[in-house]
Structure 1
Amino acid sequence: MIDTRRLHTLRAVADHGTVTAAAAALFVTPSAVSQQLNSLEQETGHRLVERGARGVRLTPAGEILLGHTNAVLAQLERAEADLAAYGSGATGTVTVASFATGIALVVAPAVAHCGRTAPGITIQVRDSEGDASLPMVLSRQVDVAVAVEYRGAPADDPRLTHVSLYAEPFDAVVPASHRLAGAESVPLAELARDTWVGPFPGNPCHDVVVIACEAAGFQPRYAHSSDDFRAVVALAAAGAGVALVPRSALRGMDLAGVAVRPLHAVAPTRRVFAAVRRGAEDHPLIRPVLGALGAAARTWDPAPSEPSAG
């Protein structure tokens, strides 16, 4: 009989590539991870991992077991959901990880909505960048992730169920003294000669901007980096560079010193979704939270506000 706890360990090793990183994700010691892997190999009668100087990779047998692991763990999630529904236990805590703008736009309204419609559910919120929250769901650190599509992310991860929330364009943010500050819209290629301000590499928004600039025929020259869009706008206001910022991140922000303009033609888009472990979407605690997130997203109007002229 295969111990499902060891299947969690196998998946963590496959996700993170090293025993040390897998141990950190599982909140155990590296020796405990190695012991679990050794026990799993004894249970299955197959060598499942190969250790090298650069980390750990799965053997063909390990890859076969990993495929079954995803199905088994998803079925266990469904079993927990069915048992919780049978017990009608709509009382408990759901932990949601989201990036800051997502918290303001959909998570906080979802907290208020559940407070009115499902008072037995307590939502705990954790601030997490859009690319970091999905591993937190898979490692069971949180129940729900509000995340952003990003380059390199699998489009259809069999371990997760995705629920689309909203999509929004990026707007150009330029210093008020910029040559294009008075334009009705900004052709992206016209910013090729400028220095740029934006998120760090690895942030999903960084990827969206770089891909859009590449499509426009240039590589943005980043002079300053911050994952906080308030800092990005402040640096643009100081004349440090230009930026592309998701429209919702500009809502309620002090825009003195910058001009905010829509991009000419098709603008890059930030696509936001909620994700849970596959099989957990019908859990009586999680289902109302997903519904509340979707309801909040439907109230978001992505139409541009009055342009700022600094």
Structure 2
Amino acid sequence: MIEVRRLRVLRALADHGTVTAAAEVLHLTPSAVSQQLAALESEVGQELLERRGRRVAITSAGRLLLAHADTILAEVERAEDAMRLHANGVNGEVRITAFATAITLLVAPALTRLRETTPGLSLVVRDAEGHQGITQLLDGDADLAIAVEHRGSPRPDDRRLARIPLYAEPFVAVLPPTHPAATPPDLPTSPADGRADSAFAAGRPAAAPIELAALADDDWVMPTPGNPIRDVVMLACEQFGFQPRIVHQSDDFRAIAALVAAGAGVSLVPRLAVPEPTLALIRPLPDPAPTRRVYAAVRASRADHPLITATLDVLTEVAEKL
């Protein structure tokens, strides 16, 4: 008989790569993880792991077992949900992870709406960067994640997840007020003092886009390594034939806009993440502009849970207004 808890240990090892990392996620000691895996090998009568120095690799038998483990664990979670619903109806908690902009634009308005439509639902919100929420979701530390599509995202055919597109937004250029490319030659000026049109100076996009190549020689303010926004910006710059000279780094868009406004460099920021008001100048990019694609994800085993479907319905409604 295969112990379900040992399948969870094998899945954690596959997801995180080392016994130590799996132990941390499972709140066990590394020796306890090793013991559970050894017991699992005894249960199935085959080697599931190959030791390679300090790391372990999963054998073909282990990968075969993992394919069944995902189905088994999903069914166990469905059974647990069914029992909870039987015990307390539709009252319960949904834990959401989302990045800061999504919390502001999506989660907070959805929370207000859900108080009216689903009074038995209690939302617990946790701030997590777009690449961290999926990890927390798969580890069981969250029930729903709002994430950003990027090169490290799970594949669309990952059977562990159900994904729901929410919205897509173009990136805009964020420039210091004195940047030579900030004011296009045909921008209207004030007859009184010759200054650039006040609407543009207030930070709203001008009609004329700015070519990304015009920023190739500037210093840049960039999100930190690992942030999916950085990946999108770096790829966009590479497509225009240059590597941005990164001088300052921050994952806070307000901090990025403040640094740019102070003349520290230029940046690209998703349009809806631009703080208001800002002293930095905002310019659109020519089509096709880099785009941030935001989606919601839940574990496939819980995709039909009433409280999660109610939350997703409201999140989708709010996203449509964006």
TM-score, length of structure 2 as denominator length: 0.89
2:311 to 289, 296, 304: 289
Other-structure match for 1:304: none
Q: Which amino acid aligns with 2:313?
A: G
1:223 lines up with 2:223 in the alignment: no
Number of residue pairs the alignment of both structures matches: 298
1:166 lines up with 2:167 in the alignment: yes
Q: Which amino acid aligns with 1:162?
A: R
Q: CA–CA distance in 2 between the matches of 1:113 and 1:81?
A: 24
Other-structure match for 2:36: 36
Q: CA–CA distance in 2 between the matches of 1:149 and 1:53?
A: 34
Dislocated runs of 4+, deviation >4 Å: 81-88
CA-atom RMSD, angstroms? Answer: 1.5
1:211 lines up with 2:212 in the alignment: no
Q: Shift in Å at residue 255 of structure 1? A: 0.9
Q: CA–CA distance in 2 between the matches of 1:87 and 1:288?
A: 19
Q: Shift in Å at residue 5 of structure 1? A: 1.2
Other-structure match for 2:187: none
1:248 lines up with 2:272 in the alignment: yes
Instruction: Verify the 8 A CA contact 1:41 1:48 in the aligned structure 2.
Output: yes
**Percent of aligned positions with the same letter in both sequences?**
52
Q: CA–CA distance in 2 between the matches of 1:285 and 1:53?
A: 45
Higher radius of gyration, 1 or 2 = 2
Listed one character per residue, the Cα deviations across residues 1-41 of structure 1 (whole Å, up to 9, x for unaligned) are 21111111111111111111111111222122111111111
2:302 to 249, 273, 280: 280
Structure 1 alignment gaps of length 5 or more: 301-310
Other-structure match for 1:58: 58
Q: Shift in Å at residue 53 of structure 1? A: 2.9
CA distance 1:155–1:27, shift in 2 (3 Å):
same
Q: Secondary structure at the residue paired with 2:268?
A: strand
Q: Shift in Å at residue 131 of structure 1? A: 0.5
Greater shift, 72-81 or 208-217, is seen at 72-81
Instruction: Verify the 8 A CA contact 1:159 1:278 in the aligned structure 2.
Output: yes
Instruction: Verify the 8 A CA contact 1:209 1:244 in the aligned structure 2.
Output: yes
Q: Which amino acid aligns with 2:8?
A: H
1:89 lines up with 2:92 in the alignment: no
Q: Aligned runs of 1:183-198 on 2, under 5 Å?
A: 183=184, 184-198=208-222
TM-score, length of structure 1 as denominator length: 0.92
Greater shift, 237-246 or 82-91, is seen at 82-91
Instruction: Verify the 8 A CA contact 1:77 1:278 in the aligned structure 2.
Output: no
Q: Shift in Å at residue 43 of structure 1? A: 0.9
Q: Shift in Å at residue 162 of structure 1? A: 0.6
Structure 2 alignment gaps of length 5 or more: 185-207
Q: Aligned runs of 1:54-133 on 2, under 5 Å?
A: 54-83=54-83, 89-133=89-133
Listed one character per residue, the Cα deviations across residues 99-153 of structure 1 (whole Å, up to 9, x for unaligned) are 1001011111111111110010000000011101111111111111111111132
Q: Which amino acid aligns with 2:67?
A: G
Other-structure match for 1:305: none
